[in-house]
Amino acid sequence: MRAAFVSDEKLRDSLKEVLSELGLSAREFSKISAIPQSTLYKIMSGHREPNITTLRQIVKTIREIEGADTGFIAVIAARPVLDEIKEKRMKIGDRLLVLREYSATNIEEAIVAAVRAERDGAGALVCAPIVSPTVEKLLSIPVATIIPKDSLIRAIEVAARKIE
């Protein structure tokens, strides 16, 4: 939210961009943040400048949603796999967790992405089985391995049809 120090226009653009990245409408953000919906719409449309209390609440809410206090879950996979992730946040139990995507097309890129994710503040990491043993040795955060049972079976069926 450094944009607030640049200009009101930058703040509006940044807020819209962040809400889009989080997959939230202004209405949903209003409910989560306890900022009146009309106030949020006025700020986003340029009809009102946020006061310091509202600005603090916006920043606090974004940090909570992004998991700044508890970290986020990093998902390392090829772009086509990441494109299948429709929600960028998941409710697990009573916690709202943010997913952050890291695209990788080979083992080296996956290892680099894993280190970057931990440096970015990831609380845990999800990756392919081919790279997870190596990544677990490098990182201090928990690593979960993707087990693509359904897609594996579909791929075997496709391969079988191709050799007929």
In the chain, which residues fall in CATH 3.40.50.10660? 73-162
Q: Which helix (H) or strand (E) holds 126?
A: strand 124-127
CB-based contacts of 65: which residues, under 8 Å, 6+ apart?
22, 24, 32, 89, 96, 98
Closest CA to 144 of 159, 112, 121, 122: 122
Domain 2-66 has CATH 3.30.1300.10: no
pLDDT at 7 exceeding the cut of 80 = no
List Cα–Cα distances, 35 to 39, 43, 44, 45, 58, in angstroms. Answer: 7, 11, 13, 15, 8
Interval 109-145: pLDDT, tens: 999 999 999 998 898 999 999 999 999 999 999 999 9
Position 3 scores a pLDDT of: 56
CB-based contacts of 62: which residues, under 8 Å, 6+ apart?
1, 18, 22
Given the candidates 3.90.650.10, 3.40.50.12500, 3.40.50.10660, 3.65.10.10, the CATH classification of the domain at 73-162 is 3.40.50.10660
Q: How far apart are CA 66 and CA 11, in angstroms?
A: 18
pTM across the whole model: 0.57
Position 141 scores a pLDDT of: 93
Q: Which helix (H) or strand (E) holds 162?
A: helix 149-162
Interval 55-88: pLDDT, tens: 889 988 887 776 555 568 999 999 998 998 887 8
